[in-house]
Structure 1
Amino acid sequence: MLKSEPLRRHAADTHIGGSETVRRVSRMLGWACLGLVLFGINTVLAEIAHHAGAVTYVFTRTLLWSIAPYLFAFMMLHRSLHLPAMEGNSLAGLASTFPFVALLFVFAAFHIEYSRGALLLGYVTTLAWIWIGYRRYVHNYVPVFGYTDPHTLEQLESMLTMPGAAPPSRIRFEPIGSLEDARHCDGLMVDRGTTADPERTRQLAQYKLSHVRMYSVERVGEMLTGRVGLAHIDENFLDDYAAHYLYGYLKRAIDTVAVVCLAPILVPIGALVAMAIRMETPGPTVFRQERVGLFGKPFVMLKFRSMSVDPNASAQFAARRDPRITRVGRIIRKYRLDEIPQLWNVLVGHMSLIGPRPEQAPMVEEFSGTIPYYPYRHLVRPGLSGWAQVQQGYVGTYAETVTKLGYDLYYVKHCSFALDLLIGVKTVRTLVTGFGAR
């Protein structure tokens, strides 16, 4: 159960206006600006080394170029802070690496001369500075949320305890009795479903005018778990989805380019997998099954066959140590090699590289009638890998499917380039470790 703690006052911060969240944002911004001093020192030392004949002028110029990806990395990290703090190491590495990889492409595309040593120095400086800052101000920081109604803690508890869910991030909750108490919290957790009364309205308005951040119970639950609570979906859900509508067109272009680039590597691997399947058991190499895609439209999904052929088989969850799975099938399912044919589905537009996994049509029909908001997962194109897969793994029960839907709807609500990159990084971990396979 969630427990609250007595409020610990920090007298040293009372002269600073606003909530603790505002102060933390200011500190992180100051940390980013302080990092520019490091680049300044590196540039001065590089110029001295250039005059001494140790390096060329290109070394200094490349260091100056590195300031751009450094700033972009902090901006990207700031845009990703809605994700749970337990994703910190992945976020810091991703935010640091991607801008420098992009800079390399710029150098290559425009034939700009650069120094590999200087670029490496800029990257290491950025990675170290972002990692230290994130650990100090975000990952190791235990946020404090205030509340005025104990009922809000009960609501949050129901969102945190779900079958098959990852443990939530660390957090403290404290009762709020005054404006001074609220200012020492990262935010005030409120229940938007509570009937409004004049006294409560005046009190919340006072907190808001004093720059105290306010979060609904639903929003706090999302920040802690990375999933949407199905019993607490608010009326802004569809508005949030609409804000990411145009990203779908950019994502489609990225998917097409990525499949073309991956094909020379994955097609030969797929040929070897097909040979192994054919040698072990009779029957077709590629398995075709109707799945439900974007906006609920059915399509035929391709997959390397990993089970013995059963013409009378019906839609069902795969169990642990499922006897239907062949020896080759167990290997290719563990490392997701059975999904290589789905690159064709991505290329023709049935699927995306990142998105909720497409489900079998009979299951969709069943779940749409029994799980609230289930059809909302079809607002985005289904994917080879998704937020639910890298957070939860395979699901095998109805209760776990409900939890999985929470992750899928979180992706629908917050889909972005940064989130897709994070899922891609965690998917690589899945491919290496076989996490969540059955």
Structure 2
Amino acid sequence: MIRLFKHYVPHSVMLLGIFDLLLLLAAGEAAWQLRASQIGMDPGSFSERAVPLCGFALVVWVAMISVGVYGSEALRSMRYACARLLVAISLGIIALSVLDFIVPGATFWRSTLLFAMLLAVLLLVANRLLIGSFLGTSAFRRRVMVLGAGARAARLKALSKEKGSGFAVVSFIAMNEPDRAIPEAISREAIHDLGDFVDNLGVTEVVLALQERRNSLPLKDLLRIKTKGVHVNDFSSFIERETGRIDLDTVNPSWLIFSDGFSSGRVISSASKRIFDIVASALLLALTWPIIALFALLVKLDSKGPAFFRQRRVGLYGQDFDLIKLRSMRTDAEKDGAKWADKDDPRITRIGKFIRKVRIDELPQSWSVLRGDMSFVGPRPEVPKFVADLEEQLPYYAERHMVKPGITGWAQINYPYGASIEDSRHKLEYDLYYAKNYTPFLDILILLQTLRVILWPDGVR
């Protein structure tokens, strides 16, 4: 994987993205040449239209990232990828058409954009037919050797077999563990020189997956592997990188303390994040107040009670604040106390079902962002009762409050809506990853991917 601003991107995704960007540039140039020949116009030099071409390619490319074209589902399903491509290119062309209307001459002609859209669809689909099928093969997967043959090694074996996995386990080495879960593992005593063994297999990374490390670390082996230039990783760091979450089953306080993350450099990130929050929330409120007002009226007409719902939530450093949303449930929804929303929850009103589905009920939270109680990106804030219960049942739950809560977050785009302790545990693993690794780059990625969640609201309640 390639690490960009503390966030890992698979080599296959990076390769596909670069090819797509180049093909979008080619589609834009071909569309310009085609339209110029149709009307008998001199197309001019390439340098004269370089900026519009790059703008076209970048806008469509960002739209592709937003709707999940580079997600694991799109990488393994051609039908899924084509559907997302069509949506992304359509959104990109609409955005460019609006820009051309606002600033005439700054982009392509709208007729040229139509040609560019059709050519882009053909080229991008052809790209996936030609090289997309190779992205899941061993040619694009890292060759990993696992030291260990217990339960952790079995988890790595299962993870490597998932579709879209970026690595393949080429060998398991049993290290005198009492409970062996990998029958095909090779005993360490059967290998004379582990360094030569690694070279012969073409291993690019070794993962230490021992259940008990106290007084059992194979230091000589690890040193020999390291001096061969092969990357050595521990189990928790490997899982974090491959899954984008922190594994609560194996992580311990010392790993959190000594691993990369929670750095002091985030002071700059926090300042830029706050500036963005102020500007974006003020702009969003200015643009969406008619929508908020309209649906506030519809909420009032649909059911008795106030249009807005105010509730205490836990924010930064465990401090409570008032969260404001458009009301989507009956006024007596919490007469017996706060509880998670169920599927087809009878407390949700008719208008409430719609505004939850398209996330309109979240718009008033922009005021909380402007005030500084929330950010656009961060862990979702929970009610104090839930937080108290979850802190008792889940380790490290309080650490998610080390960053501001957000309207959207890493857990929201990676895990469907959850309404149980087990769901909260899974979402906490993503929240901790964000709290440990957040940067402006990750925030931008989450904001873009939120569009995918809005367009395909799986699991919304």
Same fold (TM over 0.5): yes
Q: Does the aligned pair in 2 maintain the 1:152–1:190 contact within 8 Å?
A: no
Question: How far has the Cα of 1:226 moved from its partner?
Answer: 2.4
SS of the residue corresponding to residue 150 of structure 1 reads coil
Question: How far has the Cα of 1:156 moved from its partner?
Answer: 3.5
| Mapping of residues 259-270 of structure 1, within 5 Å | 259-270=281-292
Q: Does the aligned pair in 2 maintain the 1:389–1:436 contact within 8 Å?
A: no
Q: Structure 2 residue aligned with 1:388, among 408, 411, 427?
A: 411
SS of the residue corresponding to residue 282 of structure 1 reads coil
Provide the aligned length of Structure 1 versus Structure 2: 398
Q: Does the aligned pair in 1 maintain the 2:198–2:225 contact within 8 Å?
A: no
Output one character per residue of 1:80-117: Cα deviation in whole Å (capped at 9) or x when no partner: xxx97557669999999999999999999999966559
SS of the residue corresponding to residue 170 of structure 2 reads strand
| Mapping of residues 276-291 of structure 1, within 5 Å | 276-291=298-313
Output one character per residue of 1:301-346: Cα deviation in whole Å (capped at 9) or x when no partner: 0011222223744222112222222222222222222212111111
Q: Structure 1 residue aligned with 2:442, among 394, 415, 419?
A: 419
Q: Which residue number in structure 1 is paired with residue 148 of structure 2? A: 149
Query: What TM-score, normalized by structure 2, do the two folds share?
Result: 0.67
**Partner Cα distance (1:254, 1:204) in 2:** 45
> For residues 340 and 95 of structure 1, do their structure 2 counterparts lie closer, same or farther at Cα, with a shift above 3 Å needed?
closer
**Partner Cα distance (2:84, 2:257) in 1:** 26
Q: Greater relative contact order (Cα 8 A, min sep 6): structure 1 or 2?
A: 1
1:432 corresponds to 2:455: yes
SS of the residue corresponding to residue 232 of structure 1 reads coil
Bigger drift between 335-344 and 255-264 goes to 255-264
Output one character per residue of 1:247-294: Cα deviation in whole Å (capped at 9) or x when no partner: 222122222222233334422221122112211222222111111112
SS of the residue corresponding to residue 376 of structure 1 reads helix
Bigger drift between 336-345 and 85-94 goes to 85-94
Give the letter for the 2:418 counterpart: V
Q: Structure 1 residue aligned with 2:277, among 255, 259, 275?
A: 255
1:196 corresponds to 2:217: yes
Which consecutive residues of structure 1, in runs of 5 or more, have no partner in the other structure?
1-23, 78-82, 161-166
Q: Which residue number in structure 2 is paired with residue 180 of structure 1? A: 199
Output one character per residue of 1:322-371: Cα deviation in whole Å (capped at 9) or x when no partner: 22222222222222222121111111111122221111112112212221
Give the letter for the 2:170 counterpart: E
**Partner Cα distance (1:104, 1:327) in 2:** 35
Give the letter for the 1:427 counterpart: T
Output one character per residue of 1:167-224: Cα deviation in whole Å (capped at 9) or x when no partner: 77434322165122452x34222248733344323333333x3xx2333222332343
SS of the residue corresponding to residue 287 of structure 1 reads strand
Q: RMSD of the alignment, in Å? A: 4.9
Q: Structure 1 residue aligned with 2:370, among 335, 341, 347?
A: 347
Q: Which residue number in structure 2 is paired with residue 378 of structure 1? A: 401
Q: Does the aligned pair in 2 maintain the 1:227–1:410 contact within 8 Å?
A: yes
Question: How far has the Cα of 1:397 moved from its partner?
Answer: 0.7
> For residues 240 and 274 of structure 1, do their structure 2 counterparts lie closer, same or farther at Cα, with a shift above 3 Å needed?
same
1:55 corresponds to 2:60: no
> For residues 53 and 420 of structure 1, do their structure 2 counterparts lie closer, same or farther at Cα, with a shift above 3 Å needed?
same
Give the letter for the 2:147 counterpart: T
Bigger drift between 185-194 and 273-282 goes to 185-194
Q: Does the aligned pair in 1 maintain the 2:52–2:106 contact within 8 Å?
A: no
Give the letter for the 2:316 counterpart: L
SS of the residue corresponding to residue 240 of structure 1 reads coil
**Partner Cα distance (1:72, 1:238) in 2:** 36
Q: Does the aligned pair in 1 maintain the 2:146–2:153 contact within 8 Å?
A: no
Give the letter for the 1:331 counterpart: F
> For residues 87 and 296 of structure 1, do their structure 2 counterparts lie closer, same or farther at Cα, with a shift above 3 Å needed?
farther
| Mapping of residues 219-298 of structure 1, within 5 Å | 219-233=237-251, 234-235=255-256, 239-242=260-263, 243-298=265-320
Bigger drift between 251-260 and 185-194 goes to 185-194
> For residues 113 and 288 of structure 1, do their structure 2 counterparts lie closer, same or farther at Cα, with a shift above 3 Å needed?
closer
Output one character per residue of 1:44-75: Cα deviation in whole Å (capped at 9) or x when no partner: x97xx89x98335475322277569979999x
Give the letter for the 1:173 counterpart: V
Q: Which residue number in structure 1 is paired with residue 350 of structure 2? A: 327
> For residues 67 and 113 of structure 1, do their structure 2 counterparts lie closer, same or farther at Cα, with a shift above 3 Å needed?
closer
**Partner Cα distance (1:93, 1:240) in 2:** 38
